[in-house]
Amino acid sequence: MSVKIIFVGDVMQDILISFKDKIAYGSDTQSRITMQGGGSATNTACWAATQKIDVGLVARIGDDQTGNLIKDGLNHSHLFLNLVKTPNTTSGTCAVLIDANGERTMFPDPGANLHLLADDIPSQWLESAEIIHISAYSLLRAKTTKAIEEIVEMAKSRDIKTSIDVASSQPLIDNDGFNSLSKLAPFDYLFANKDEAEVLGDISKIKSLCKNLILKQGSQDSIWISDNQEITSKPDLVEVVDLIGAGDAFAAGFLTSLLTDESPANILKNANDLGSKAVKISGARPI
C-alpha cells in the first residue's frame, strides 16, 4: 500500500430532492427523491480514485444503520479507507434540494464528522503521501478546527503538500472564513468557486492564503494563479443533470494530474474534464 493523496473531511449520506416547479411552501411540491453517498472530502477522494492514483480517505461515521450504508457504498470505490466508527453518534446526513437548473441547496447535519481527530490518519499513510487534501467544512466547525490545525502542521513538518477546498460561501460567511484560513496559510493549493472567492475578498487577498490559487467557475474559464503564472482553461459545454460534486471532481482531476507530471495546461484541462463528467450524472460521486 502506497497512498499518494490523503483526503480528510466529511462523509455523508445525501438525500437528493429534485424538483422542476417552484417550491410550494407550506404545501406539496412534486419531486424525485433518491439517496446517495456524499461529503466533499469523500466525493473528491472517490473521483480521484478513478484516475488510477492510490488515495486514502479519513472520515468518521456513526454507530448506526446510516454508517453501515455509507461504508457499504464505499466498498467498491477503490479507496483505502479509514472510517472511524464513533459510538453513540449518528452518521452525517445532508438533504440536498436540486432545482430545474441543477443548482443545489444543502441542509447538512454533520453528525459523527464532528468527532474527527488528527490521529485518525494512519501513520503508514503519512510515509508515502505527497498531498493531504482537506475540506474546509472541517476547519470551519469549532469542534474539528483543532484537528485540522494539527493535520496541516503535521503535513508541513513532513514536507507533504497541503490542499484545501474552501467549502461553501455560507460557512465562510458564518465562521470568518478568511481569518480561519489565514491561521494555517500558506496552503500549497487552494480551490474556490466564484461565490466563495467573493466572500474571501479580492484575488490578491486570497492569494495571500496559498502558493497556488485555483478558481472553479462552472461553465466559464477555470483559472490557476501562482507566483509565476496564470493559466486559464475553458471546460467543454455539456448537458447538466445536476451540479452536486462538480467542484469536488474538478479538484480530484487537478490533484491527481499533479502527480503524473502533466503540463500545467493539461492539469487544468484534466480538472475541467473530470468536473464535466460529474455534472452529466445525478449525485456527487462517479457511477
| CB proximity list for 280: less than 8 A, separation 6 or greater | 238, 239, 240, 241
pLDDT at position 282 is 84
| pLDDT tens track for 84-118 | 999 999 999 999 999 998 888 999 999 999 999 99
**φ/ψ (deg, to 5) at 119:** -70, -5
Work out the percent of the chain whose per-residue pLDDT is above 90.
Answer: 88
Cell of 172: 465562510
Is the pLDDT at 241 greater than 90? The verdict is no
Mean pLDDT of the 263-283 span: 94
Q: Which domains does the chain have, with CATH numbers?
A: 5-23+31-279 (3.40.1190.20)
Mean pLDDT of the 39-59 span: 97
DSSP calls for 204-249: HHHHTTEEEEEEE-TTSPEEEE-SS-EEEEPPPP---S--TTHHHH
pLDDT at position 72 is 95
Q: What is this structure's pTM? A: 0.94
Q: Are 62 and 85 in contact (CB under 8 A)?
A: yes
Is the pLDDT at 1 greater than 80? The verdict is no
Confidence of residue 266 (pLDDT cuts 50, 70, 90): very high
pLDDT at position 71 is 96
Task: Match 467557475 to its residue by C-alpha cell.
Answer: 217
pLDDT at position 284 is 81
Q: Are 53 and 29 in contact (CB under 8 A)?
A: no
3-class DSSP state for residue 258?
A: helix
Work out the percent of the chain whose per-residue pLDDT is above 70.
Answer: 100
Cα 74 from Cα 66, distance rounded (Å): 13
The one-letter amino acid at 200:
L
pLDDT at position 102 is 82
Is the pLDDT at 131 greater than 90? The verdict is yes
CB atoms under 10 Å from CB of 90, counted, come to 17
pLDDT at position 218 is 84
Is the pLDDT at 237 greater than 90? The verdict is no
Cell of 150: 494539527
List for the chain the helix, strand, coil content (%; round to 5): 40, 25, 35
pLDDT at position 184 is 98
pLDDT at position 243 is 84
| CB proximity list for 217: less than 8 A, separation 6 or greater | 193, 194, 223
Cα 8 from Cα 30, distance rounded (Å): 36
pLDDT at position 164 is 99
